[in-house]
Structure 1
Amino acid sequence: MKRRFNPYTLPPWLKQIREVGIQIIIPLTIFQGIRTIFFPTSFDVLLLAILILLAIAFRYDWL
């Protein structure tokens, strides 16, 4: 049986880390997207993909 994720049962320090992550992920993703346009290395593209997935996960409360 799968256990449902409930953000209200997290410890306070983990809630704070999550809130900081939500606030910083979008500007960091935009900066990485601009950087990838000008200097497209494989690492930059991989990092941009990871940041986009994290932004989507935070947006839809998957994390």
Structure 2
Amino acid sequence: MKKNFNKYTFRSWGRNAINACKQLILPFAVFQAIRTIIFPTTFDVLLLAIFILIYLGFQYEWF
């Protein structure tokens, strides 16, 4: 049976880690976008795509 996740039942350290990720993902994505424009490699493009997906996940509350 599948358990329902409630983000408010996490321990305080879990909430703090999620909040830190929410605050840091946008600066990392912007830095990675600038780096991808200057030095475009496959790894940089994939990493930028991952950062964008994580950012969208936080914005649309997928996590």
TM over 0.5: yes
Provide the rounded CA distance (Å) in 2 between the counterparts of 1:49 and 1:41: 13
Match of residue 17 from structure 1: 17
Task: Could you tell me which runs of 5 or more consecutive residues in structure 1 were left unpaired when the two chains were aligned.
Answer: none
Corresponding letter in the other structure for 2:21: G
Where does structure 1 differ by over 6 angstroms across 4 or more consecutive aligned residues?
Answer: none
**Identity within the alignment, %:** 51
Aligned residues: 63
TM-score using structure 1 length: 0.90
2:54 is matched with which residue? 54
Alpha-carbon distance in 2 for matches of 1:13, 1:4: 20
What RMSD, in angstroms, separates the aligned Cα atoms of the two structures? 1.2
State the distance in 2 between where 1:26 and 1:58 align: 10
TM-score, with structure 2 as normaliser: 0.90
**5+ residue gaps in structure 2?**
none
